[in-house]
């Protein structure tokens, strides 16, 4: 009887298809540090079945490559723009890739605290040829976050309003003709010059669905000055039809989230003085996404002097409920909606592994990928691990040497991708 049972189990095991390991692929081994947020590393175009990826190379020059999913090959690299930057703040001038309504690839880059550049490919759905470069704003721009819907682009950024306080508002310019012309800047979030000096708006996640753009941010600054500390996580959305801002529960905030509104948008309260010895900020990459049922999920990492965790918070029925997805690390990277649930990426506490998990509200987080990060050339940290726009099964991630990240301008660190388009392995 035992022999029969063993035989049946063996037959079942051979009959069931097994999920192949994800394809871990090197995009380049010649990147430098760029402090990209949760958007803009890669975009997928279903029409040509290609994923387009951008990164910063030697002297922070901007590069792009394309992966052909049918042929399973990478294109030759294309240099979009030579920047020739070698100063310690050059990592702020990172590229953010998206695709315009007419199919052209577009890259936004802020000349940090000065202006905003737009680079556009000459041909739709392709990277070859000479890209057009244009300055589209001189509003002391930092950290671009574009949202494209058809021919309309909402381009969000922090303005370097007054570094001495420190004080940064969150602003937006808008184009309705695929970036040819742009509106005057509009202030979206303005905390005012707060007494505690946490008055720099740092947005990490900007997402969009059904005419609502969800903004997730923290307030940085404090007594130590510019980006010397941070506190709290806030969420609001912009209704693109009316231009009005709202709390997640639907209360109108008018045209600006100002000092009187900030408390209405706070979702998570953190203590800026209760931190590990090696951290200056309590939060890691907070981002909010809407699900099919109308609820929201906020994902983030958070740490104190005695704890570190990955948290998923869901807003439904007028209230937030939180789930700790991992209590061993706070190195959260990105979050994407998958219908009724989410996928999220994060690094292990020792930074050696990159994990992707799935979560449906009411259930436990389940492992999807757990890969050893392919470090080389002294790299020891995964800085970003972004889900690919329009293809949430895939990610693009960068690696850096944390100690020398700001002073190294020679491209030598890997950018890699995780793809889930492999065929299922067959047992024989």
pLDDT digits 0-9 by tens, 329-339: 999 999 999 99
Q: Return d(Cα 104, Cα 122) in angstroms, integer.
A: 7
For residue 370, pLDDT over 50 is answered with: yes
Q: Return d(Cα 126, Cα 119) in angstroms, integer.
A: 13
Average pLDDT, stretch 186-198? 98
Q: What percent of the chain has pLDDT over 70?
A: 93
Contacts of residue 293, defined as CB under 8 A and 6 or more positions apart, other chains included, come to 316, 340
- Summarised one tens digit per residue, pLDDT across range 56-92 is 999 999 999 999 999 999 999 999 999 999 999 999 9
Q: Residue 228's closest CA among 219, 238, 216?
A: 219
| Structural tokens at position 25 | 């692929």
Confidence (pLDDT) at 261: 98
For residue 384, pLDDT over 90 is answered with: yes
For residue 107, pLDDT over 50 is answered with: yes
The 3-state secondary structure of 117-131, one letter per residue: EEEECCCCCCCCCCC
| Structural tokens at position 45 | 């175009």
Q: What percent of the chain has pLDDT over 90?
A: 93
Confidence (pLDDT) at 60: 98
Residue 325 lies in a domain: no
Lowest-confidence pick of 79-83, 128-132, 327-331, 418-422? 418-422
Identify the domain containing residue 52 by its residue range.
1-138+378-428
Strand partners, 299: 287, 312
| Structural tokens at position 88 | 């310690």
pLDDT band per the 50, 70, 90 thresholds, residue 425: very low
Residue 265 lies in a domain: no
Q: Residue 299's closest CA among 176, 227, 214?
A: 214
Residue 65 lies in a domain: yes
Lowest-confidence pick of 12-26, 41-55, 95-109, 335-349? 12-26
DSSP percent split of the chain into helix, strand, coil, nearest 5: 5, 50, 45
Torsion on CA atoms 323, 329, 333, 336, rounded to nearest 10: -20
Give backbone dihedrals phi and psi of 262, rounded to 5 degrees, phi first. -55, -45
Average pLDDT, stretch 244-264? 98
Terminus-to-terminus CA distance in the chain, angstroms? 25
**Sign of dihedral through CA atoms 80, 37, 399, 406?**
positive
Residue 134 lies in a domain: yes
For residue 275, pLDDT over 90 is answered with: yes
pLDDT band per the 50, 70, 90 thresholds, residue 20: low
Confidence (pLDDT) at 13: 40
For residue 304, pLDDT over 90 is answered with: yes
For residue 12, pLDDT over 80 is answered with: no
Residue 314 lies in a domain: no
Number of Cβ within 10 Å of residue 255's Cβ equals 14
- Summarised one tens digit per residue, pLDDT across range 140-174 is 999 999 999 999 999 999 999 999 999 999 999 99
Confidence (pLDDT) at 1: 43
Residue 337 lies in a domain: no
CA–centroid distance for 199 within its chain: 22
Confidence (pLDDT) at 22: 84
Q: Return d(Cα 335, Cα 38) in angstroms, integer.
A: 8
Residue 199 lies in a domain: no
For residue 302, pLDDT over 50 is answered with: yes
Kindly state the helix (H) or strand (E) to which residue 371 belongs, with its residue range.
strand 366-372
Confidence (pLDDT) at 23: 87
- Summarised one tens digit per residue, pLDDT across range 222-248 is 999 999 999 999 999 999 999 999 999
DSSP state of 193: S
Write the CA distances from 96 to 52, 318, 366, integer angstroms: 12, 34, 30
Give backbone dihedrals phi and psi of 175, rounded to 5 degrees, phi first. -125, 140
3-state SS, residue 3: helix
Average pLDDT, stretch 279-287? 97
How many domains does the structure of the chain reveal? 1
Residue 328 lies in a domain: no
């Amino acid at each position: 009887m035992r022999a029969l049972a063993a035989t049946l189990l063996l037959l079942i095991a051979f009959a069931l298809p097994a999920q192949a390991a994800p394809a871990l692929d090197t995009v380049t081994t010649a990147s430098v540090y760029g402090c990209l947020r949760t958007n803009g590393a890669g975009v997928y175009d279903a029409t040509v079945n290609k994923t387009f990826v951008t990164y910063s190379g030697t002297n922070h020059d901007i590069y792009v490559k394309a992966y052909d999913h049918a042929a399973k090959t990478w294109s030759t690299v294309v240099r979009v723009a030579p920047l020739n930057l070698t100063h310690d703040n050059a990592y702020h001038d990172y590229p953010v890739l998206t695709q315009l309504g007419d199919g052209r690839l577009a890259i936004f880059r802020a000349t940090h605290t000065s202006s905003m550049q737009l680079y556009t490919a000459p041909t739709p759905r392709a990277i070859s040829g000479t890209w057009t470069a244009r300055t589209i704003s001189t509003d002391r721009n930092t950290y671009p976050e574009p949202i494209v819907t058809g021919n309309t682009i909402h381009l969000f950024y922090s303005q370097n309003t007054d570094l001495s306080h420190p004080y940064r508002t969150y602003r937006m310019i808008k184009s309705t003709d695929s970036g040819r012309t742009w509106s005057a800047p509009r202030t979206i979030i303005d905390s005012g010059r707060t007494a505690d000096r946490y008055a720099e708006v740092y947005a990490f996640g900007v997402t969009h669905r059904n005419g609502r753009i969800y903004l997730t941010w923290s307030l940085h600054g404090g007594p130590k000055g510019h980006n010397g500390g941070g506190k709290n996580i806030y969420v609001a959305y912009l209704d693109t039809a009316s231009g009005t801002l709202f709390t997640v529960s639907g209360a109108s905030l008018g045209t600006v989230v100002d000092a009187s509104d900030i408390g209405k948008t706070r979702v998570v309260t953190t203590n800026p003085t209760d931190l590990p010895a090696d951290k200056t900020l309590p939060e890691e990459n907070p981002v909010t996404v809407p699900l099919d049922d109308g609820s929201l999920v906020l994902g983030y990492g958070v740490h104190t002097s005695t704890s570190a965790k990955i948290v998923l918070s869901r807003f439904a029925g007028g209230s937030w409920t939180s789930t700790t997805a991992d209590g061993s690390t706070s190195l959260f990277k990105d979050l994407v909606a998958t219908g009724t649930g989410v996928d999220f990426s994060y690094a292990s506490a020792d930074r050696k592994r990159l994990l992707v998990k799935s979560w449906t509200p009411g259930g436990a987080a389940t492992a999807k990928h757990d890969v050893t990060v392919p470090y080389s050339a002294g790299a020891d940290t995964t800085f970003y691990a972004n889900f690919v726009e329009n293809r949430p099964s895939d990610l693009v991630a960068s690696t850096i040497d944390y100690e020398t990240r700001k002073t190294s301008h020679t491209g030598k660190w890997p950018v890699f991708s995780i793809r889930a388009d492999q065929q299922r392995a067959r047992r024989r």
